[in-house]
Amino acid sequence: MRNWFKGGEPWIWMTAGAVALSLIAVYAVVWMTAARGLVHWWPIQVAETIFTAADGSKTRLIGEVRDREEVSILRLRESGYRIDTTDKFTTRYLIKQGNRDITGTDFKWYPAPMLGEFTYPKDMIAVERREWGHFYGHLKAVKENGRIVAEGPAAWNAMRDRLNRSNALFSEILGIEKHEIGKLNYELERLRLNQRKLELQNRLDDAAKRDFDARLAAVNAQFGALQARLDALRAQIGRDSFVAEVMDGQQVEISLAKVADAIMPNDMNVFGKIGHYLSKFVEFIVDDPREANTEGGIFPAIFGTVMMVLLMSAMVTPLGIMAAVYMREYAKQGPLIRIIRISVNNLAGVPSIVYGVFGLGFFVYFLGHNIDVLFFAESLPAPVFGSPGILWASLTLAILTLPVVIVSTEEGLSRVPRSIREGSLALGATKAETLWRTVLPMASPAMMTGLILAVARAAGEVAPLMLVGVVKLAPSLPLDGNFPFLHLERKFMHLGFHIYDVGFQSPNVEAARPLVYATALLLVVIIVVLNLFAIRLRNRLRERIRGLEGV
Amino acid sequence: MNGALEKSHAMQLGDIRRAPMAATDDYVLSVENLNLFYGGAQALNDISIKIPRNRVTAFIGPSGCGKSTLLRCFNRMNDLVDICRIDGRILIDRKNIFDKDVNVALLRRRVGMVFQKPNPFPKSIYENVAYGLRIMGVNEKSTLDDAVEKALRGAALWDEVKDRLGESGMGLSGGQQQRLVIARAVALEPEVLLLDEPSSALDPIASAKIEELVYEMKEKYTIVIVTHNMQQAARISDYTAFMYMGDLIEFGDTDSIFITPKEQRTSDYITGRFG
Ligand SMILES: Nc1ncnc2c1ncn2[C@@H]1O[C@H](COP(=O)(O)OP(=O)(O)OP(=O)(O)O)[C@@H](O)[C@H]1O
Ligand SMILES: [Mg+2]
């Protein structure tokens, strides 16, 4: 036994065990988010059954069975149910009954003994509406302008065709509202600001005024034309509707204008389900969110996250490298530089929210406000840079990650051997030339390591961002087709904040939970992709340093 | 090497390279009363020595006696050591290299140095040799190609590497690396080449190659070599300086130092009685 200890065997087991634990932890995180998130778009069959309430009245239930758990019968009896059994425990089901506008609640637990047998009628439709969440019911008929055009089994095909038509119209309307009207609004705002600017400079004479009025009239005319087109489209989209029978036997009529998607989950084969799954998945990645972020896609959040990380990298890399070069190569290595180095190291340990507070106080309120006063006087009192935005968020994160970049770069610089530097100097290179041609290239993989760490930290940071630019729902992306294309002052959406918002702030937490996991998974994937990209770059650099490139 | 390079070389060196004066005609470097301190400790005591042009001068002496330190004075590598303080003069064409107006980069191009341990850059063989020229602003491919070939031939390395100029200089053997860094220095066509124990890390065959090279190079360059190997000093040098504890004990032509040393300590060291 003593020899076993002496031989170092236990150490091997302990260290290997640590590796195994870490691996399990990592896989558990990924597996759980993937398992919970990725099933979200798989069509679930819609069940129908009879529910006996505590007072003995019977109602019909329609919905998706989403979850089940064990409950004690005692508790059920206490809440008034009469259950004849000697068992101590029974199951209860979480049923998503949808139809929030009719039933009031989406999700509800029902004890198994009070439910009849589950059936899965083929004519059941699951409708994803643009408002009020899901709708479930027996499809009865399809109407055009209030007149029934298809009934019974034929109704489904008619409904699908008409749904395609209304969706095409809807995306046309959306396109006009988002792009063309957005452009005109932007134009109007610019005209107003230009006018105000001239006014402030006392250069708004009659000629300029007339010019503005003419341009304003032109824009308004365009507005009018667009409005007319929109009205026509809106009138058309409301043409069709469908009628379905819901839980309590009511017949409900819903306009197809309000329907985003509809399926017959009980009458779908595997390929149909796969197709539906894929289309929903793509929608999740490329679409804008709907319904307080609980439905639709998360494209703006992906875009915001990636753009913020890129902006942050563009800011932190040069700054960090320059600071490290000064500290390692030029500064006299005395007590002062040692204090600075210790401070930088400790800066990495400051809680991120503190950086958020700093960013808000310094960047937004001080810098941003002064920029507004100096350059954007015409739009005051409405702030431009004086309110949180993607520029300030990236800058805050750049400061937050600066220590990481400095420390890694310094380490890389210090690993460049003295003999190499002397070799370069002895060939008549100045210190700067030695730095540029030999030392910095040799330290570049270390700089990339710093950047990789910085990206990993920045992409996952949420707390400081809430103070300096991230919002729940941004009206427009920070990069678009309107001059000057890059709008650094705009607020943006972020995956990390999106997770928090959807999971804990939304009105329908239960419905949004799978989205939380899916979004988390996507955040992980994006960070991994960004990192892989940086790691590839680093390997490329390493290879080049080994001198393997051609002459 | 082609004319353009020659010209730019001459132009850049113009401000130190003057018409040779009669008094220093035979000498490239002339050290006058040089004292050197590392912090409080004196490493060189009142050294005066004249290095003859186009000859091989060897510095010998026990470890720690200051040979490298003196060598590093010639191209002012000691500037990099913060605690190093120097007084006295080293003249090159009657110009004191420690003067404030001396361009250190140009001085180092004139006085090239090869270090004790080979230190190739992590770049291709070609780029290693072209490094100094690129620093001088030579970027024309044909000029560089010619200069690289000439330098590699001069360092007797061309035949071994001509097919793999794009490969890393770090991938060569120790002896090849040492010749590579010699080629790197030679590519700048310096007047003086300082070699600090160039074959200490090499096997006998590789070090014989280096010796041969030194022998060939003295036609064109003035060579100062530090060595611990008495036979090597006797074989390749024309003049020998014996140093001991920061003092220059004896300096003269190699034959007289080895056969009829004037100082007892010199003969003790040469015959291996200490050191
Ligand atoms: N950078 C330095 N800082 C302080 N002292 C130094 C430094 N370099 C050399 N010395 C000291 O100066 C003295 C001479 O050193 P030097 O390297 O010139 O000896 P050397 O003759 O080249 O020895 P070796 O044959 O072992 O290379 C030694 O005592 C050494 O400790
Ligand atoms: Mg030495």
Please report, for chain A, the start and end positions of each structural domain, with discontinuous segments joined by +: 47-122, 138-263, 299-550
Residue A252 DSSP SS3: strand
Indicate yes or no: CB of A427 within 8 angstroms of CB of B184: yes
User: Given this model, what pLDDT does residue A295 score?
Assistant: 76
Give the separation between CA B173 and CA B190, rounded to whole angstroms.
25
**CA of B229, closest CA in chain A: separation in Å?**
23
Pocket test for ligand 1, best of B67, B199, B230 (most atoms within 8 A of CB): B67
Architecture category of domain A47-122 in CATH: Roll (2.30)
Mean pLDDT of chain A: 86
Q: Which residues pair with B250 in a beta bridge?
A: B242
Q: Which helix (H) or strand (E) holds B76?
A: none
Residue A96 DSSP SS3: strand
Burial code (b: 16+ CB inside 10 Å, e: under 16) for B4-31 equals ebeeebeebeeebbeeeeeebeebbbbb
Instruction: Check residues A443 and A548 and name the one with the higher pLDDT.
Output: A443
Q: Is the pLDDT of residue A104 over 80?
A: no
User: Given this model, what pLDDT does residue A397 score?
Assistant: 93
Query: How many angstroms separate the alpha carbon of residue B68 from the centre of ligand 1?
Result: 7
Amino acid identity, residue A183?
A: K
Residue A459 DSSP SS3: helix
**Domain covering A299-550, topology:** MetI-like fold (1.10.3720)
Nearest to residue B105, comparing CAs of B77, B83, B85?
B77
> Within chain A, what is the greatest distance between any pair of CA atoms?
101
The ipTM (two decimal places) reads 0.85
Q: Write B249-255 long-range contacts (CB < 8 A, 24+).
A: B249/B61, B251/B49, B254/B58
User: Given this model, what pLDDT does residue B275 score?
Assistant: 53
Question: Helix A299-325 crosses helix A509-545 at what angle (to 10 degrees)?
Answer: 40
Residues 432-471 of chain A with CB under 8 A from chain B are 433, 437-438, 441-442
Q: Is the pLDDT of residue A169 over 50?
A: yes
Which residues, by Cβ under 5 Å, contact ligand 2, an ion? B 68
User: Given this model, what pLDDT does residue B14 score?
Assistant: 37
User: Given this model, what pLDDT does residue A422 score?
Assistant: 92
pLDDT digits (tens, 9 = 90+) for B223-232: 999 998 888 8
User: Given this model, what pLDDT does residue B36 score?
Assistant: 95
Cβ distance A108 to A510 under 8 Å?
A: no
Q: Is the pLDDT of residue B24 over 70?
A: no
Architecture category of domain B3-270 in CATH: 3-Layer(aba) Sandwich (3.40)
Give the separation between CA B103 and CA B136, rounded to whole angstroms.
13
Burial label, A288 (beta-carbon count in 10 A; 0-12, 13-18, 19+): middle
Give the separation between CA B238 and CA B258, rounded to whole angstroms.
11
Residue A435 DSSP SS3: helix
Q: How confident is the model at residue B16 (pLDDT cuts 50, 70, 90)?
A: very low
Query: How many angstroms separate the alpha carbon of residue B63 from the centre of ligand 1?
Result: 8
User: Given this model, what pLDDT does residue A550 score?
Assistant: 36
How do the domains of chain B map onto residue ranges?
3-270
Give the separation between CA A174 and CA A334, rounded to whole angstroms.
64
User: Given this model, what pLDDT does residue A551 score?
Assistant: 33
Say what the pTM is. 0.80
pLDDT digits (tens, 9 = 90+) for A250-281: 888 888 888 888 888 888 889 999 999 999 89
Ligand nearest to the CA of B59: 1
Mean local confidence (pLDDT), A159-186: 86
Sheet holding B239-244, edge to edge: B111-114, B192-196, B222-226, B56-60, B239-244, B247-253
Mean local confidence (pLDDT), B118-138: 92
**Residue A453, Cβ neighbours under 10 Å: how many?**
19
Q: Is the pLDDT of residue B187 over 80?
A: yes
Rg (CA), chain A: 31
Indicate yes or no: CB of A427 within 8 angstroms of CB of B181: no
User: Given this model, what pLDDT does residue B274 score?
Assistant: 66
How far is residue A284 from each of residues A71, A328, A462, A522, measured CA to CA in Å? 35, 47, 21, 10
| Chain A environment of B126 (Cβ under 8 Å) | 551
